[in-house]
């Protein structure tokens, strides 16, 4: 089952914060976050494992609530380079096979 | 970071012909490679998982006879679209991982296939 991402799109001014959510209807082994810019390959941001700690990548952090079967990506003090589409990938079996959400398009303006 | 290449980056072929797409991990050994299909402004749809030396595992709804996957070595996987039709036109993207457990996947730049 494809995880549900929200919101579908976000528009920010440089320096503003945003939260992107990823919800699953069944138990997760891990959640992976990627960012894809137009015409480019997705780039890895971080993995959150069951029972693991909150992760961080520069000014981007993420949490994983196993009970609620959801993960959230926190972008603080956004930069222009944060623009792109953010995908969460859910791993239900622990074999790194990912089912990606529909994506959240983020646009950061000066 | 690790680099994954794909070749070709773009291909146009006639309906009924076959097209082969290569995915290579350039500076690491990929235990597992994944093939995805992506439509414009849409998500990545997993087609199949391939492990070196064994048969690929296809996702539900993906025809294994149409999309042939060969993972010949720890650095090379190929996807062959057989008897291509216009509806097979899409962006095909591969990823590679060093481990068969939750780990970073390194994505290739993708291949744009257009079937006329």
Which DSSP symbol is given to A82?
G
User: Could A40 and B109 be called an inter-chain contact, meaning their C-beta atoms sit closer than 8 Å?
Assistant: yes
Mean pLDDT value across residues B60-75? 93
The answer to whether B44 faces chain A, any CB pair under 8 Å, is yes
pLDDT score recorded for residue A51: 75
Whole-number Å distance between alpha carbons of A7 and A84? 14
Q: A96, B101: Cβ pair inside 8 Å?
A: yes
Cis omega before residue B16 (within 30°)?
Answer: no
Cα–Cα distance, A103 to A5 (Å, whole number): 6
Calculate mean pLDDT across residues A55-72. 87
Q: Quick check: A43 and B105 CB within 8 A? A: no
Share of chain A above pLDDT 90, in %: 73
Q: What are the pLDDT digits (tens) for A71-94?
A: 999 999 999 999 999 999 999 988
pLDDT band (50, 70, 90) for residue B62: very high
**pLDDT reading at A54 higher than 90:** no
Tell which wins on pLDDT, A55 or B64.
Answer: B64
**pLDDT value at residue A56:** 74
Per-residue model confidence (pLDDT) at position B55: 86
Residue A91, chain B, CB below 8 Å: the answer is yes
pLDDT of residue A96 exceeding 90:
no
């Amino acid at each position: 089952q494809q995880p549900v991402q929200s919101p579908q799109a976000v528009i920010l001014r440089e320096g503003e914060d945003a939260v992107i959510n990823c919800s699953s209807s069944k138990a997760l082994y891990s959640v992976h976050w990627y960012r894809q810019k137009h015409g480019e390959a997705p780039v890895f941001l971080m993995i959150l494992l069951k029972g693991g700690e909150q992760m961080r990548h520069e000014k981007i952090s993420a949490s994983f609530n196993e009970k609620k079967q959801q993960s959230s990506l926190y972008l603080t003090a956004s930069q222009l380079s944060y623009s792109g589409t953010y995908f969460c990938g859910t791993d239900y079996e622990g074999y790194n096979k990912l089912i990606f959400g529909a994506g959240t398009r983020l646009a950061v303006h000066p | 970071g690790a680099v994954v290449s794909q070749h070709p980056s773009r291909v146009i072929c006639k309906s009924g012909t076959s097209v082969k797409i290569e995915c290579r991990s350039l500076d690491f050994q990929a235990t597992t490679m994944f093939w995805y299909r992506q439509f414009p402004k849409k998500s990545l749809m997993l087609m199949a998982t391939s492990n070196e030396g064994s048969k690929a595992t296809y996702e539900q709804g993906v025809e294994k006879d149409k999309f042939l996957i060969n993972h010949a070595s720890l650095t090379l996987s190929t996807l062959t679209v057989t008897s291509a039709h216009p509806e097979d036109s899409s962006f095909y993207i591969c990823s590679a991982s060093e481990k068969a457990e939750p780990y970073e996947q390194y994505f290739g730049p993708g291949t744009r296939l257009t079937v006329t």
